[in-house]
Amino acid sequence: MARIAKCESGNSHYDKNGQVLINKSRDVGRYQINVQVWGKKATELGYDLYNEKDNEAFALWLFENKGSEPWVPH
């Protein structure tokens, strides 16, 4: 998980203004989880992807259930 976070966001949760990282593709947080693709599932499981702890918990769920497949190598 640490390698995914480092690759996706440089292991950062927030941008320079203190806001949760969101890129133009709607990838959110330290693990840059795409809200359009995974937002519904995250909500079904009770996670708010804009919340740091929920983002991390959902990233772990995603990794345990899908492996590294959801993250595109850079």
User: Tens-digit pLDDT profile for the chain (74 aa)?
Assistant: 888 888 888 777 766 666 666 666 788 888 989 999 999 999 999 999 988 889 899 999 999 999 999 987 65
Coil, helix or strand at residue 43: helix
pLDDT at 57: 95
**pTM of this prediction?**
0.83
Please choose, from the candidates 70, 64, 66, the residue with its C-alpha nearest in 3D space to the C-alpha of residue 27.
Answer: 70
Query: So where are the chain's domains?
Result: 2-66
Planar angle of CA 62, 67, 70, nearest 5 degrees: 65
